[in-house]
Amino acid sequence: MFLWGTATAAYQIEGATGEDGRGESVWDTFAREPGRTRDGHTGDVACDHYHRWREDVALMSGLGVNAYRFSIAWPRVLPLGSGEVNERGLDFYDRLVDALLAAGVQPVPTLFHWDLPQALEDRGGWLNRDVCELFADYAATVAARLADRVPLWITLNEPFVHMAFGYAMGVHAPGRFLMTDALPAAHHQLLAHGRAVQALRAAGARQVALTNNCTPVWPASQEEPDLKAADAYDVLHNRLFNDPILLGRYPDLSAYTPSLDFIRDGDLATIAAPLDALGINYYNPTRIAAPTGDGLPFSDAGITGHPTTAFGWPVVPDCLRELLTGLKSRYGAALPPILITENGCSQPDTPTEHGTIEDEARVDFLDRHIAAMRQAMAEGVDVRGYFVWSLLDNFEWAEGYHQRFGLVHVDFATQRRTPKRSYHWFKEFLKGQNTDT
């Protein structure tokens, strides 16, 4: 069955951050610090999904998707990251899973979408190797409750973005500015993934995947410094996270770190445990030029000549085809089936005087990206699912509520949900799909 779904993440939609025994996450701490998010927005209320989940499941069932990718908040299940389990947190996801199944929607949980328990951040966060074992324990705890009904699991969401924005550049929680010294945060996330794969399989999970954010990298010119910088960016954004998982080895990192002593014997074998699928989040390509002397081995040259989203991201649908066929040629038989676990765009989405949201640009974006995915499939790439980011307008991390990605508009003052034109378009589209292929 081809999975057609929507995707969300716990901190971006749930709210209720202080309810039913949930512990603090790094995002609670970070968003409260002045100047960290636009207009000081936090996820304290977000879409209030923790209370309105029935309405949100009904929106999905009305849409006609057969899958839903959401994330489980580690601090809801283990308020201190380890130790005592908060059964009320597990109860929430248990009820959600049952409601999804009753609505004919396959639950696809992600175990980590950036909301590390603050208690673990206080012990060094992803720079501390001990967190890998604690993640495996957390995975086992969740799977013990849900694996009887959840066939497909995703361990991590975008370890690249978490490392780069959270640990290298400090623009996401936990707000560290370590530049290339952030590399241990990549390795420890990957090792945690590998240990979680073992824990999930031991608990009866049938299928396990990991989601990476990938981008086609275009050199700004064919001059040697730009080509070298583009290669460095490809290594740090794409290959650092795909090579160890799929090939059991890291690309050459010697130019970026004085020492790789955080990698121990046996780690790569754990990281490379076979997966049932690779999740790919795709938003845009990246154009890279030679470094400018800020400490990074590349610089962002920007892309012109294409339409852009409200975020300013270039819209280049054919790059999804380029990305997928590129993965196939790079990894060959080592590439498992692919799930597009996120694809979508932010748009201004102002309601009309009649209260409708005419997001034609999003309809066009989705239509053209789905066509590009199908072109890649026609060229031999095994894609098994496509999830729109996102079901709802939500808390867009450092941008707060300023970027709207939803198929459903959320009025954050009233929590009123209004399906946009794109929701109605996707619903009609899904009616025409044969989900067996």
CB of 204 to ligand BGC, least distance (A): 27
Q: Does 157 bind ligand BGC (CB under 6 A)?
A: yes
Residue 223 in contact with residue 250, Cβ under 8 Å?
Answer: no
Nearest to 290 by CA among 215, 236, 219: 219
Contact code string over 76-115 relative to ligand BGC, x by CB under 6 A = ----------------------------------------
Q: Which is nearer to ligand BGC, 324 or 391 (CB)?
A: 391
Q: Which is nearer to ligand BGC, 6 or 157 (CB)?
A: 157
Q: Does 243 bind ligand BGC (CB under 6 A)?
A: no
Q: Does 9 bind ligand BGC (CB under 6 A)?
A: yes
DSSP of 344-371: ---B-----TTS----HHHHHHHHHHHH
CB of 213 to ligand BGC, least distance (A): 5
For residue 223, the Cα-to-chain-centroid distance in whole angstroms is: 34
Residue 86 in contact with residue 76, Cβ under 8 Å?
Answer: yes
Return the H-helix or E-strand segment holding 227.
helix 224-234
CB of 342 to ligand BGC, least distance (A): 6
Residue 209 in contact with residue 278, Cβ under 8 Å?
Answer: yes
Contact code string over 397-426 relative to ligand BGC, x by CB under 6 A = --------x---------------------
| Contact pick of 161, 169, 171, 178 for ligand BGC (by CB under 6 A) | 161
Nearest to 83 by CA among 138, 37, 136: 138
Return the H-helix or E-strand segment holding 57.
helix 49-63
- Of the candidate spans 50-58, 61-69, 156-164, 422-430, the one that interacts with ligand BGC by CB under 6 A turns out to be 156-164
> Running DSSP on this structure, what letter comes out for residue 40?
G
CB of 223 to ligand BGC, least distance (A): 31
Q: Which is nearer to ligand BGC, 280 or 301 (CB)?
A: 280
Amino acid at 437: T
CB of 397 to ligand BGC, least distance (A): 6
Site for ligand BGC in 198-237 (CB under 6 A): 213
CA dist., res. 6 & res. 8, Å (int): 7
Contact code string over 248-287 relative to ligand BGC, x by CB under 6 A = ---------------------------------x------
CB of 60 to ligand BGC, least distance (A): 18
CB of 104 to ligand BGC, least distance (A): 25
Beta-carbon count within 10 A of 104 CB: 12
Return the H-helix or E-strand segment holding 110.
strand 106-112
Site for ligand BGC in 381-400 (CB under 6 A): 389, 396
Q: Does 430 bind ligand BGC (CB under 6 A)?
A: no
**How big is the site for ligand BGC, counted in residues (CB under 6 A)?**
11
- Of the candidate spans 75-83, 138-146, 153-161, 195-203, the one that interacts with ligand BGC by CB under 6 A turns out to be 153-161
Q: Does 28 bind ligand BGC (CB under 6 A)?
A: no
> Running DSSP on this structure, what letter comes out for residue 166?
I
> Running DSSP on this structure, what letter comes out for residue 300?
E
- Give CA separation, 221 vs 59, 116, 313, in Å: 46, 40, 20
Q: Which is nearer to ligand BGC, 157 or 299 (CB)?
A: 157
- What is the side-by-side strand order in the sheet with 299-300? 217-219, 286-289, 299-300
What lies within 8 Å, CB to CB, of 331 at 6+ separation is 242, 246, 247
**Residues labelled catalytic:** 158, 342
Q: Which residues of 34-68 are buried (b: 16+ CB within 10 A; e: fewer)?
A: eebbeeebbbebbbbbbebbeebbebbbebbbbbb
Residues making contact with ligand BGC (CB under 6 A): 9, 12, 157-158, 161, 213, 281, 342, 389, 396, 405
